[in-house]
Amino acid sequence: MNMYAKQINDEWQIYSMGQLCRDNPQVSFPCQPTDETLAEYGVYPVSTETLPEFDPRWQRAIQGPLTKVGDVVTRGWLIEDITATTEMVKQESGRRILALCPEWKQRNLTAQAAQLAKKGEANWTPEESAAWAAGEALWFQIAVIRDKSNTIENMDQIPVDYCLDVYWE
């Protein structure tokens, strides 16, 4: 489907064939008018530039304004940094924690810890002692991620690239 534009009040705006017919009721336009016919009424095809590369973790692409070059109106792209929020940092923290230890594993570790606590450390087998130590090591890694998250969240301005490993190491 072709997109067209027309300059209205010194600003290029998207303009439809329906608008062209309504604005010119005395004219009988063919089903598919040529670009030359449309140009007689100040209407031009719109060409959209290829989306440039950007990192969606901390940038977004928005369509830029329409500009006319020759007989073609072009719509480009603007890449803007996303303003990072504490909620975004919390989501990244959660993503990292789940990558390290999925919820099912967290539940299993919690259940295992409850059983071992009830049994009492003095009664643990060597395997149970090793399992306890492994669980503690994993919970320590999760605590480090939570601490890093708190540090990033409390920055005066959260960096837009907060999800890079350098902030979490």
pLDDT lower than 70: segments of the chain: 1
The pTM of this model reads: 0.59
Q: For residue 43, what are the β-bridge partners? A: 6
> What b/e string do you get for 15-40 counting C-beta neighbours within 10 Å, with b at 16 or more?
beeeebeeeeeeeeeeeebeeeebee
Q: Tell me the longest C-alpha to C-alpha distance in the chain.
A: 97
The confidence score (pLDDT) of residue 38 equals: 93
The confidence score (pLDDT) of residue 99 equals: 97
Q: Tell me which residue of 87, 93, 65, 95 sits closest to 77, measured CA to CA.
A: 65
**Ramachandran angles phi, psi of 168, nearest 5°:** -110, 0
**Ramachandran angles phi, psi of 150, nearest 5°:** -60, -40
The confidence score (pLDDT) of residue 94 equals: 97
Task: Collapse the DSSP code of 14 into the 3-class scheme (helix H, G, I; strand E, B; otherwise coil) and give the result.
Answer: strand
Q: What element of type H or E holds 112?
A: helix 103-119
Alpha-carbon distance 40 to 118, whole Å? 87
* CB contact set of 45 (below 8 Å; sequence gap of 6+): 2, 3, 4, 35, 38, 72, 73
The confidence score (pLDDT) of residue 1 equals: 64
Task: Collapse the DSSP code of 79 into the 3-class scheme (helix H, G, I; strand E, B; otherwise coil) and give the result.
Answer: strand
- Dump pLDDT digits (tens) for 5-43: 999 999 999 999 999 999 999 999 998 899 999 999 999
User: Hey, what are 88's tokens?
Assistant: 């975004």
